[in-house]
Amino acid sequence: MMRSFFHGKIFRILLCVCAALLLGIFAAAVSDSGANPVSAVVGFLTQPLEKAAAGLAEKTAQFCDRFRSASFYKEQAEQLRETVASYREELVDYENLKYKLDAYERFLEVRQNNPDYGYLPASVISRDANDVYGTFTINVGVNDGVELNDPVIYGKTLVGVIRAAGETTSTVYTLLNPEVSVGAYEIRTREDCYVEAENALSLKGLLRLSGLAKTTPIVPGGIVCTSGTGGVFPRDFIIGTVTDVHTDNTSVAAYATVEPDVAPATLTDVFVITSFEGKE
């Protein structure tokens, strides 16, 4: 019976407990901590668990810190996006104001030189992307005093003419449109001529200066202005600069190509001349 006890399950359990107690007593003695054996054993057995719990707590704290940091950075990023959006809006307003100010500065000299003219400020509100002639729409119409064939200017430069006027908006044909023809002269030679558009040149952003004598003294670089002939456009507004002069041995006349002083696609603000001396 004694032999069966030593080989039994209860003996093995008691043996394990005694071994654990002895191991705890030995650890306590080595560490010289003064703790009682049971406490030493318990501490020895639970130390791995305590380390694991401490490590888990540290990892949890780090995760929480990361989570808080992510929330903080997300909030900061949102604030930065709002700030950038605000600056972008201010930049748009600044650019629009800059172009408007430039248009008014250019107009000031015209107003001083022609105080008897009637003027109406306008803004470009739309363009036809498929129109090679640069046709655009402005935000003034009949209710504002606009009439058909009123000249449209940008500073001292002739831009085009009103070709359709609604109650609150108007369509402007630029000088590149074949339906527009302007009496003109070259300022150095004073030679009279007229500016017209043709498709091949309009695609290049150029105008045709016709009605020149075959022996014309006009040369590239000459400035072409309105002559006032016909009563549609006032005199002395700039049209553009001569780029080439062409002569033909089979013809009795010459012609030149002219680059408009202002590209229609760059316009944002213009003025409509509603009345002027000599208007038909």
Whether the per-residue pLDDT at 2 is higher than 60: the answer is: no
What is the pTM (predicted TM-score) of this model? 0.64
Same domain, 96 and 201: no
DSSP 8-state class, residue 250 = T
Whether the per-residue pLDDT at 174 is higher than 80: the answer is: yes
- Residue pair 222/242 in contact (Cβ under 8 Å)? The answer is yes
Contacts of 244 (CB under 8 A, 6+ apart): 220, 256, 257
Cα–Cα distances (Å) from 3 to 8, 11, 13, 14, 115, in that order, read 9, 11, 16, 16, 132
Number of H helices, E strands in the chain: 4, 12
For the chain, the domain total comes to: 2
Same domain, 90 and 50: yes
Question: For the residues 154-179, what does the mean pLDDT come to?
Answer: 95
What pLDDT is attached to residue 53? 63
The answer to the question of residue 280 being in a domain is no
Whether the per-residue pLDDT at 27 is higher than 60: the answer is: no
Segment holding 161, helix H or strand E: strand 157-165
Q: Which of 67, 95, 113 is the last residue of a domain?
A: 113
Phi-psi region of 134 (alpha: psi -120 to 50; beta: other; left: phi over 0): left
**Residue 42 exposed, middle or buried by CB count within 10 Å (0-12, 13-18, 19+):** middle
Where is mean pLDDT largest: 86-90, 101-105, 176-180, 251-255? 176-180
Same domain, 94 and 169: no
Q: Token pair for residue 71?
A: 């929330």
Q: Which of 113, 132, 156 is the last residue of a domain?
A: 113
Same domain, 76 and 209: no
Query: Which segment of 24-33, 58-67, 196-205, 246-255 scores lowest on mean pLDDT?
Result: 24-33
- Residue pair 137/123 in contact (Cβ under 8 Å)? The answer is no
Q: Which of 85, 113, 141 is the last residue of a domain?
A: 113
State the CATH number of the domain containing residue 137.
Answer: 2.40.10.350
Tens-place pLDDT, residues 183-217: 999 999 999 999 999 999 999 999 999 999 988 99
Segment holding 38, helix H or strand E: helix 37-113
